[in-house]
Structure 1
Amino acid sequence: MHLILSSYESVVNGLTVDLEDWYHICGVEDYSDPLQWGSYENRIIKNTDKILDLFRSYNIKATFFVLGYIALKEPDLIKTIKDEGHEIATHGFYHRRVFEMTEREFEEDVGKSVSTISSITGSRVFGFRAPEWSIRKETPWALKILRKLGILYDSSMVPLTRMGSRDFPRYPCKFDTDYGEIWEFPLTTVRLFWERLPFTGGLPLRMFPYFYILSKIQRINWEGYPAIVYIHPWEFDMEQPHIDLPFSRKFMHYFNIKATPKKVEGLLRHLRFAPVSEVIRLHA
């Protein structure tokens, strides 16, 4: 069953933050090793404060997909985010891609994150997003394990050939698992020739012209569907340390990050947003 709305005016889009620090990059030697993380400069608090200030100015709430590692390290930050009315979901514990783990490792990683976050907030964790949108066709067990752990919605699928699968849903919908139904809120994409491209966060948000991004989200809303926007605290940090990455990864991570705050503010000004669980509650 897909989530579809009756009119453009009633559409509320999902606003999300992947709460991770500047060195949380998958697949990069040393920087993907949690044993090294304690030696890196902590920039998560001041960068998250910039995002919270922006959300306050527009009185908008979002879903923060929190790394369990960050929650354990900075519990007061997580309490502040929750106290300001934002939803706290999980981004896993160690920022590991799903397809790099066994079923048991995945369950342990997400379970540890859920337990850590819940102990800080005193509330259940209902949502999950995998690092790098890394649920694949080869990991059909992921949704089952998430539902087993009490997760009610996931936001990890991409309807693309290389990142995910063309068979993945384009819009929010439900999946059945052995432990009950779970919502999937996939990455928002737009068709370009024979493929679909993301454009609502990360490099695409920083690269595409603002009018293009806004118009495409509005078109999706006119069709009756919500979009999902995602940002990272390090995209609000022009002075972060730079990691020596392969060219393609360096371009993806650093290109035009100075554009992120302005573009996000424009979207907050022109569109309606809410946390993911609220979008599902309003329109399911």
Structure 2
Amino acid sequence: MRNLLSIDLEDWFCVSNFDALIPRSEWDAQQFRVVESTRALLELFDRRGVKATFFVLAWVAERAPELIREVAAAGHEVACHGYGHQRLTQLDAERFDADLGKALTILRELSDAPVVGYRAPSFSLTERTLWAIPVLERHGIRWDSSIFPFGAHPEYGIADAPLTPYRLGEDLVELPMSCVELAGRRMPCTGGGYFRLYPYRLSAALIRRCNQAGRPVIFYAHPWEFDPGQPRMTMPLLKRLRHYNHLDVTLERLDRLLVEFEWGPMGAWADSVRDSAPLLPPGSAGARAKAA
């Protein structure tokens, strides 16, 4: 089974964990490291012959347009991660419309292929932010990968959302982040901090279990997760461990994962499941919220 490889292309200081430490007004003063770390990923993907989907933060694209052109020229898919990495929970429909429109204008000028995929910063498409769906549709977004069907995280997730693709609108397909059900509970198996914190064998076993259930895994990572030399911020111990753990071995682990499993970009899969994906299945948390 071909799994789905995605990169949230943002720099080390853009993460939500640093919102209170590095205001957006100070982003331009930070050390810009995303070009080097992204090129390391591009070299790895080229060596292993895999293509990925890059959810690009348009603020970065404005400052490194040549990097986004490199991504597109290498045959990878360019999708949208918004402009300023503001979570949907920090916006309203009007401000999100402006953020998304600005981001898509920038990205569509840098990519020869249509930019029709979206992932919300910090997976912030939740029951509280379903107002974003018509905004996405209005801007020509045809597939989304923002909903985490998981309820144990304090800042994101819809606990009982479907694990398989469904439509958020007539033409908007949701590709939910990957979880495995174990003993009646859901366990993420989708990359990011989970991939760095889990033992490698556990990550691989969860991917196999998801594949055995007939579902490809959506794997995600950020360029900063492969950059052990990035500046270190002062944070509470638990957050510090979660954020910086295993940065020095993540590239090696990903290389192993690329060899062990088959991978590809996300857009083609979204198109392949579009006709069979149900429209907001009854009983899902998203369906209840929209009906309300």
TM-score by length of 1: 0.90
Residue 283 of structure 1, CA deviation? 5.0
Question: Structure 2: how far apart are the matches of 1:165 and 1:282?
Answer: 24
2:136 is paired with a residue whose SS is helix
Alignment partners' CA distance in 2, 1:100 and 1:27: 14
Q: Which of 201, 220, 236 is the aligned partner of 1:230?
A: 220
Cα deviation digits, residues 247-276 of structure 1 (max 9, x gap): 332222111222311221122111111110
- The CA deviation at 1:91 is 0.6
Higher RCO (Cα < 8 Å, 6 or more apart): 1
Mapped contact 1:61–1:85 kept (Cα < 8 A): yes
Is 1:17 aligned with 2:10? no
CA distance in 2 between partners of 1:233 and 1:61 (Å):
16
2:35 pairs with 1:42 = no
My pick for the range that moved more, 111-120 or 273-282, is: 273-282
1:166 to 139, 152, 159: 159
Moved more, 104-113 or 62-71: 104-113
List structure 1 runs of 4+ shifted beyond 6 angstroms.
none
Q: Distance in 1 between matches of 2:255 and 2:18?
A: 31
One-letter amino acid of the structure 2 residue matched with residue 19 of structure 1? L
- 2:171 matched residue in structure 1: 181
1:143 is the counterpart of 2:149 = no
CA distance in 1, matches of 2:61, 2:129: 26
Q: Is the 8 A contact 1:174 1:182 kept in 2?
A: yes
- 1:25–1:32 Cα contact (<8 Å) kept: no
Contact 1:47 1:237 in 2 (8 A): yes
Return the offset for 1:123.
3.7
Residue correspondence of structure 1 range 2-151 to structure 2 within 5 A: 11-26=1-16, 28-29=18-19, 31-151=21-141
> Given the two structures, how large is their TM-score scaled by the length of structure 2?
0.88
User: Which consecutive unaligned segments of at least 5 residues does structure 1 have?
Assistant: 1-10
Identity over aligned pairs, percent: 33
Structure 2, unaligned stretches of length 5 or more?
275-292
Aligned residues: 271
Q: Specify the alignment match of 1:3 in structure 2.
A: none
Deviates more, 1:146-155 or 1:207-216: 207-216
Partner of 2:266: 276
Deviation at 1:122, TM superposition (A): 4.2
8 A Cα contact 1:154 1:185, kept in partner: yes
2:198 pairs, out of 193, 196, 208, with 208
